């Protein structure tokens, strides 16, 4: 599993769909928002949690089609299916590699992006913590969507349509954590809901992804 993880990390960087693309998109969204809504600090501070979470979500979405597509194209996925490694472990490693190359850099960059949107000082900790808890769910859900659409020509649009509705609960509670933290309100409830969503997806979706992938490989 460690060798497979290392291989996926190297492929993500070499293929150009790794952390660089996600961070660039995240930065573009953050920079363009003040041009669209105006530079008024109070307005930016009020919308910063939602904008930052939305930018991180869309940045994760950019590289989802690469999670399994490259292995499908060169036949590696068929070989992996016959390996002793369970399919559930395979998709879990794929999701982990996606999070390490896309989700984790977004978590680390979020405080700097918050400065550009005048995020109140108390919100930085909760924004970072919320993204750290929520982005693994985005990667696991994205891996499930990639398994559903693997092998389809031009499946990127279909993948986005399938995954975006599943992202909504994570987006709602993640942005609520950052919003409440920024204004000094209690964050226990949305934080617990966000953690529950992430734990639930990590526990259940690898099995669903493996089942779908086995059907698509027949």
Considering the chain, what is the average pLDDT of its residues?
Answer: 87
Query: How far apart (Å, rounded) are the C-alpha atoms in residues 14 and 151?
Result: 21
CA 153 vs CA 65, 149, 166, 178: distances in Å: 11, 9, 22, 38
Task: Give me 140's structure tokens.
Answer: 């696991």
- 6 vs 15 pLDDT, higher one: 6
pLDDT of residue 169: 96
pLDDT of residue 70: 73
pLDDT of residue 18: 57
- 74 vs 91 pLDDT, higher one: 91
pLDDT of residue 17: 52
Of 64, 78, 63, 90, the residue nearest 7 (C-alpha): 90
Least confident of 13-27, 29-43, 191-205: 13-27
Question: Residue holding tokens 């499946």?
Answer: 155
Res 47 pLDDT > 70: yes
Task: Give me 113's structure tokens.
Answer: 């992006």
Of 152, 135, 133, 62, the residue nearest 95 (C-alpha): 135
pLDDT of residue 155: 65
Least confident of 15-19, 40-44, 120-124, 182-186: 15-19
Of 42, 56, 4, 60, the residue nearest 182 (C-alpha): 42
pLDDT above 90: percentage of residues in the chain: 50
pLDDT band for 198, please (50, 70, 90 cuts): very high
List pLDDT tens digits, range 103-145. 999 999 999 999 999 999 999 999 999 999 999 999 999 999 9
Query: How far apart (Å, rounded) are the C-alpha atoms in residues 182 and 184?
Result: 6
φ, ψ of residue 209 in degrees (nearest 5):
-65, -40
pTM of the model: 0.90
Q: 78: exposed, middle or buried (C-beta count within 10 Å: 0-12, 13-18, 19+)? A: exposed
Res 96 pLDDT > 80: yes
pLDDT of residue 178: 95
When pLDDT is averaged across residues 19-35 and rounded to a whole number, the result is 87
- 11 vs 123 pLDDT, higher one: 123
């Amino acid at each position: 599993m460690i060798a497979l993880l290392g291989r996926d990390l190297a492929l993500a960087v070499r293929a150009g769909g790794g952390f660089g693309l996600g961070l660039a998109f995240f930065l573009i969204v953050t920079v363009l928002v003040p041009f669209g809504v105006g530079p008024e600090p109070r307005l930016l501070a009020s919308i910063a949690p939602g904008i930052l979470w939305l930018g991180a979500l869309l940045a994760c979405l950019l590289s989802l089609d690469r999670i399994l597509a490259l292995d499908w194209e060169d036949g590696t996925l068929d070989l992996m299916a016959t390996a002793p490694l369970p399919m559930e472990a395979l998709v879990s490693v794929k999701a982990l590699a996606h999070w390490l190359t896309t989700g984790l850099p977004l978590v680390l960059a979020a405080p700097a992006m918050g400065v550009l949107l005048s995020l109140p000082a108390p919100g930085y900790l909760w924004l970072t913590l919320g993204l750290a808890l929520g982005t693994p769910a985005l990667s696991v859900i994205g891996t499930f969507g990639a398994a559903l659409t693997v092998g389809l020509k031009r499946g990127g649009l279909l993948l986005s349509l399938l995954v975006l509705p599943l992202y909504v609960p994570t987006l709602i509670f993640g942005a609520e954590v950052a919003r409440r933290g920024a204004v000094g309100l209690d964050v226990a409830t949305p934080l617990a809901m966000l953690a529950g969503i992430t734990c639930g997806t990590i526990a259940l979706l690898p099995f669903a992804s493996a089942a779908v992938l086995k059907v698509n490989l027949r």
